[in-house]
Amino acid sequence: MTNFFTGDTHFGDSRALHFDHRPYPDLDAHDAGLIAAWNAAVAPSDTVWHLGDFALGPSGPRIREILDSLNGEKHLIVGNNDGPDTLAAPGWASVRHYAEFAIEGRMVVLCHYAFRTWNGMSKGALNLHGHSHGKLKPMPKQYDVGVDPMGPAPVTLPAILTSRSRGKR
């Protein structure tokens, strides 16, 4: 079992194509591309922490269909664009606004929003977030794990920690 992180997938949200300049010709290709990338990286036995803004626009049945098509045990950290249908979808193992726990020997603090300071920061804890679509200047020990800075597939903690050396945020 591997832990993965992602955020800001914006399934069903045409704004992602325009504002974030995602490389898909239309919304159907966007959603299909993100699903394919997710499933290529994540096995059914893996865990994925989605740091908010899962979907905006599709109805409850379509959200459930997308969620059911994604591999792994899925946890949602609520984002500002996650509506009632996303929050109520039965495919989430948990839905919350904040989480902190140790993973691979590191404390991680998860929220949709980037923090200026966070619990355990002085002891090496990492703040993983979404929301900013890679537009915030990176801070030490803070990583935007959304689709726009990290790519369409969820990423592991080692990949996150080496992302800045690869030119990602």
- Note the pLDDT of residue 31: 97
Span 121-135, average pLDDT: 95
- Note the pLDDT of residue 165: 65
Domain count, the chain: 1
Span 41-55, average pLDDT: 98
Direct distance between the N- and C-terminal alpha carbons of the chain, in angstroms, rounded to an integer: 26
Span 116-126, average pLDDT: 96
DSSP letter at 24?
-
Span 107-112, average pLDDT: 98
- Note the pLDDT of residue 131: 96
The 10s digit of each residue's pLDDT in 51-91 is 999 998 888 899 999 999 999 999 999 999 999 999 999 99
Would you say 67 and 61 are in contact if contact means Cβ atoms under 8 Å apart?
Answer: no
- Note the pLDDT of residue 60: 87
Question: Could you tell me the CATH number of the domain that includes residue 145?
Answer: 3.60.21.10
* Spatial separation of the C-alpha atoms in residues 41 and 110, rounded to whole Å: 21
- Which residues are CB-contacts of 75 (< 8 A; sequence separation ≥ 6)? 47, 48, 49, 50, 92, 93, 94, 95, 96, 99
- Note the pLDDT of residue 167: 54
- Which residues are CB-contacts of 22 (< 8 A; sequence separation ≥ 6)? 16, 30, 147, 148
- What is the residue range of 107's domain? 3-166
Would you say 163 and 40 are in contact if contact means Cβ atoms under 8 Å apart?
Answer: no
Confidence at 108, pLDDT banded by 50, 70, 90: very high
Percent of the chain with pLDDT over 70: 97
Confidence at 166, pLDDT banded by 50, 70, 90: low
Q: What is the dihedral of CA 126, 131, 137, 141, to 10 degrees?
A: 0
The mean pLDDT of the chain is 94
